Amino acid sequence: MDIKLEAIIFDVDGTLAETERRGHRVAFNKAFEQEGYPYSWSDELYRELVKTTGGDRRIARYLTEYQDFEPEEARALAKKLHPIKTQLFVDTILNGEVPGRLGVARFIKSLQEAGLRTAVATTGTTKWVHPLVQHLSEEGGFEPFEVVVTGNEVDRLKPAPDLFQLALQRLELEPNQAVMVEDSRNGVRSAMATGGACVAVRGEYAHAEDLEGADLIVDSFGGDEESALKVLGNPWNLKVGRMLTPELMVELHRRRLQS
């Protein structure tokens, strides 16, 4: 029996929206300032720190590696600062300061119109992820995601496969019935670990990362002639136009199953 493509599961940070540089990084710095700590993460430093998934883990890493905190002390301060940072980030979302990536709303809407289910699996916390995906849905004119899985709900974050596995479980699907959309090396590794297909839409903080293993690597979701995507990796020799489409996802899924 043929196995049909049933769902597309999206990462959030860097995938649905470029949240890192103008959202998370700014909120981390505001939290430090608000609590009286003389720390400020430059864009260059944040490109390195973002490789650590989970905001509290990111703060703890910074405190131990760059400020000589003892690990236990760093974890305690991170636990205190992270909720403050999260609220500051939620405020930026509610103020409409975190737009979706170019072409992503068009792509999601086209998937839904083609009868494909859509879901989210992200290391982000529930408190900010739900407001953001709701905002993106309302702003982009597409239906809400059927399933949203956040980092609060699993023991292991990406590159472990737990988030995608939980999303698949809630969708009542097997990995070979879905395509996962990511933007970074950790995300691609997480998707690959499920055994399912993965499309990498390189994010702004992943420009130098090795995304090998993804079934298709592009620089954007694409759009009109002026915003056409660029193919960076195409192991299945797919015929890729100027934008990601449901038809392309179905063909990618078919070729992968036949390999």
In the chain, the percentage of residues whose pLDDT exceeds 70 is 100
Token pair for 184? 């970074």
pTM of the model: 0.90
Model confidence band, residue 204 (pLDDT cutoffs 50, 70, 90): confident
Cα-trace Rg, the chain:
18
DSSP-derived secondary structure for 161-176: SHHHHHHHHHHT--GG
The backbone torsions φ and ψ at residue 182, rounded to the nearest 5 degrees and listed phi first, read -135, 175
Q: What is the mean pLDDT of the chain?
A: 95
Strands (E), 93-220: 117-121, 147-149, 178-182, 197-201, 216-218
**Domain spans, the chain:** 7-18+99-258, 20-94
Q: Are 43 and 21 spatial neighbours (Cβ–Cβ below 8 Å)?
A: yes
Mean pLDDT of 198-227: 89
Q: Are 218 and 99 spatial neighbours (Cβ–Cβ below 8 Å)?
A: no
246 bridge partner residues: none
- According to CATH, what is the number of the domain 20-94? 1.10.150.240
Measured CA to CA, the distance from residue 29 to residue 243 in angstroms comes to 35
Measured CA to CA, the distance from residue 157 to residue 180 in angstroms comes to 16
- According to CATH, what is the number of the domain 7-18+99-258? 3.40.50.1000
**Selection from 134, 131, 128, 136 nearest residue 104 by Cα:** 136
Q: Indicate the DSSP class of residue 115.
A: T
Measured CA to CA, the distance from residue 133 to residue 117 in angstroms comes to 15
pLDDT in tens, 131-144: 999 999 999 999 99
Which positions are catalytic? Answer: 11, 13
Residue-level pLDDT at 1: 53
